[in-house]
Amino acid sequence: MHLHTTASWPARDDRRPALVWLAIFWIYVGVGFGFDLHNYLHEQPPVPKIVHVHAIATTLWLLTATALVLMVETGNVRIHRRFGWYAAGLAAVVVIISPWSELSWQALNLQTPGALPPEFLSIAFSGVLCMIVLLPWGILMRRNSAAHRRVLILATVCISDAGFSRMVGLFLPPPTTFLGTYLFYEGGDVLLIVLIFLWDWKRNRVMKQFLYASFLVIGVGLTATSLYFNDTWKAISRAWLESWALHML
């Protein structure tokens, strides 16, 4: 298998696959959050206001990322480049609000029966951590369109784990084993990475940058799952949430 650093194929050959990956991503988000919307709006205690801000900001980011892909597909590359800086700024807002929102929600529900345990913070933060690395890296590679496209698709996909787990949760309860927990929460990322890899491998288009980005997403997900089962992390995450509940709520 030959690994590419730049594309030896026309850029337009990558456009349709990007739409397919984005469509699968929206299935995760649409089904997962769509069926969970009623529960979200009627939670007791009511969700903190920052969670609503997070939901709006993340939705705007996802719509913006979709629009950027569609601009390239329709040939509006110049608009894509200009609009991309707005998307980068919005992503920076999401990166700040996402952990703030998660900490506030979990701190509020620290004593709520059936709520996510404190150690879930590791899994909740994994997608944001990947996005912090992949987004600027993808932007820096904007002159290498094939690598730029693949890395930014993963930067978008890596925050789909919440939608994927909600979708899977419609049919299965959360597992208690390491592998089951990893696939329950991170399986959406893994599935898209495998599909993209197989598509490129069949056409001899596998790029080093995509593999590096994939290893990052998978590695961070596995590390987050390991922390989830780690007793020291359980104590640390509980202390964080108790402090957040005392000083930030």
Q: Would you place residue 113 in the very low, low, confident or very high pLDDT band (cuts 50, 70, 90)?
A: confident
Q: Whose CA is closest to 223, among 122, 119, 103?
A: 122
> What pLDDT does residue 249 have?
64
Q: Would you place residue 219 in the very low, low, confident or very high pLDDT band (cuts 50, 70, 90)?
A: very high
Q: What is the mean pLDDT of the chain?
A: 88
Q: Whose CA is closest to 153, among 248, 247, 72?
A: 72
pLDDT digits (tens, 9 = 90+) for 135-179: 999 989 988 988 988 998 898 888 777 888 888 888 888 899 999
pLDDT digits (tens, 9 = 90+) for 34-65: 777 777 777 888 889 999 999 898 888 888 88
Q: How many Å apart are CA 146 and CA 181, to the nearest integer?
A: 33
Helices (H) and strands (E) in the chain, counts: 9, 0
* H-assigned helices in 203-230: 208-228
